[in-house]
């Protein structure tokens, strides 16, 4: 019995060491730093400052704006990406020809690194040389200052994120759609159900785990929105596109205020947990229910 247990621990050891080194230690180190005035280039040792960093972070208007922007961005991006992804998946699933080509071409944007996406769109949205403004001028519109106009900048970044990540939502939902038993559709048709009823009572319940998974992954990912904002707007105009991650980067990485940046990072981790705990609880609950069955 003892040797079996020892064997189990030996097998687990590499994973435990990796987890401790790459996850547990950084989290603990960040929490510890968040209570200090740690400035990376300081010659003096860091001092314990209690909750002062947290108080400053929470009171900072730019951070409050960043939380609002991030939350608004997350809600809009996740909703649009999931709904559009679902619509495309249902459309492609119903198609009889050209499915393979369409499937691959739809996925291309999500294969690109976010930095590349940001740079491509920076060129396309340029006032004078960008293709978008050239196309708009054909229809008689004046050039739009997409990334410098406070009324448009946020939505321009939202559009780019939706363009890049809707294919990811499509992929997961499409895979789930293909796993729905065809017999259920046939039975519904025999019973005289219309398309809407079939979608509501058969398709949606069957793909619900996939939908929740998409929502969970996109929620976490949109909360970390950084590259596009940093490259395209620098958080402006007037902080209208500043996100929490960009705020943490500016404070903790660029300005090297590790203590302050750590406090902002812990607050952000807390917010992500608040938004994702429902989904995580539901998925874990679901998995446990399946195990019981």
Partner 1 sequence: MKKRFAILLSLVMMVSIFTACSAKGPDRLVIAARGGSHVTAMEAVKEAFEKEHKVKVEIIGLEAADLKQKVSLDAKNKQGAYDLIMADDPWMPEFSEGGIFANLSKLGVEADDDFEESSIALGKNPYATGDLYALPFSGNVQLFFYNKQLLESHNYDVPKSWEEVLTIAKDLHADGASGYVIRGQQGNPIVSDFLPILWAYGGQVFDDAWKAQVNSEPAKQALNTYIQLLAVGSNYETTDIVSSVSEGRAAMALGWPSWFIKGEDASADYAPIPAKGTANAETAATGMIGNWMMGVTANAKNPELAAKFLTFITSSETQKKMVEHGGVPTRKSVYLDKELSAKYKHFPTQLEALQNSVARPRTPKWSRVEEALGSELSAAIAGTKSVEKALSDANQAIDQIMQ
Which residues of this protein are in contact with partner 1, per CB under 8 A?
Answer: 40-43, 62, 122, 126-129, 145, 147-148, 150, 233-240, 250, 253-257
Q: 19 or 55: whose CB is closer to partner 1?
A: 55
Minimum CB–partner distance for residue 41 and partner 1 (Å) = 3
State both tokens at 8: 């189990």
State both tokens at 45: 């040792």
Minimum CB–partner distance for residue 135 and partner 1 (Å) = 17
CB within 8 Å of 154: residues ≥ 6 apart: 69, 72, 73, 240, 241
Rg (CA), the chain: 24
Q: 126 or 206: whose CB is closer to partner 1?
A: 126
Minimum CB–partner distance for residue 50 and partner 1 (Å) = 17
Minimum CB–partner distance for residue 97 and partner 1 (Å) = 43
Burial of 262 (0-12, 13-18, 19+ CB in 10 A): buried
Cβ atoms of 180 and 206 closer than 8 Å? yes
Minimum CB–partner distance for residue 211 and partner 1 (Å) = 37
Minimum CB–partner distance for residue 254 and partner 1 (Å) = 6
Question: CA–CA separation, 87 vs 174, rounded Å?
Answer: 10
State both tokens at 280: 């995580």
Q: Following DSSP, what letter does each residue of 162-227 receive, concatenated?
A: HHHHHHHHHHHHHHHHHTS-HHHHHHHHHTT--HHHHIIIIIHHHHHHHHHHHHHHHHHHHHT--H
Closest CA to 232 of 158, 168, 163: 158
Q: 157 or 171: whose CB is closer to partner 1?
A: 157
Minimum CB–partner distance for residue 12 and partner 1 (Å) = 26
Q: 203 or 240: whose CB is closer to partner 1?
A: 240
Question: CA–CA separation, 279 vs 213, rounded Å?
Answer: 8
Q: 51 or 280: whose CB is closer to partner 1?
A: 51
Q: 71 or 145: whose CB is closer to partner 1?
A: 145
For 129, 204, 213, 245, 278, the CA distances from 251, given in Å and listed in that order, are 34, 43, 32, 10, 30
Q: 98 or 234: whose CB is closer to partner 1?
A: 234
């Amino acid at each position: 019995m003892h040797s079996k247990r020892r064997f189990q621990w030996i097998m687990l050891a590499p994973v435990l060491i990796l987890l401790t080194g790459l996850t547990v230690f950084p989290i603990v180190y960040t929490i510890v730093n968040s209570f200090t005035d740690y400035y990376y280039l300081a010659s003096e040792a860091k001092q314990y400052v209690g909750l002062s960093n947290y108080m400053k972070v929470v009171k900072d208007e730019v951070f409050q704006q960043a939380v609002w922007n991030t939350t608004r961005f997350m809600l809009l991006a996740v909703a649009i990406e999931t709904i559009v992804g679902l619509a495309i998946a249902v459309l492609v699933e119903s198609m009889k020809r050209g499915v393979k080509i369409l499937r691959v071409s739809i996925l291309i944007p999500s294969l690109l690194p976010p930095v590349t996406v940001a740079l491509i769109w920076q060129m396309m949205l340029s006032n004078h040389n960008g293709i978008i403004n050239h196309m708009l001028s054909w229809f008689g519109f004046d050039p739009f200052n997409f990334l410098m106009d406070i009324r448009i900048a946020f939505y321009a970044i939202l559009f780019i994120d939706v363009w890049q990540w809707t294919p990811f939502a499509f992929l997961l939902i499409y895979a789930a759609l293909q796993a729905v038993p065809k017999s259920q559709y046939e039975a519904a048709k025999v019973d005289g159900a219309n398309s809407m009823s079939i979608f509501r009572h058969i398709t949606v319940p069957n793909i619900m785990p996939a939908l929740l998974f998409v929502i969970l992954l996109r929620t976490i990912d949109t909360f970390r929105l950084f590259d596009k904002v940093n490259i395209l707007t620098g958080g402006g105009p007037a902080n209208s596109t500043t996100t929490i991650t960009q705020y943490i980067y500016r404070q903790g990485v660029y300005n090297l205020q590790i203590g302050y940046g750590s406090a902002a990072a812990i607050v952000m981790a807390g917010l992500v947990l608040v938004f994702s705990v429902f989904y995580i609880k539901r998925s874990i609950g679901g998995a446990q229910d399946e195990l019981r069955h």
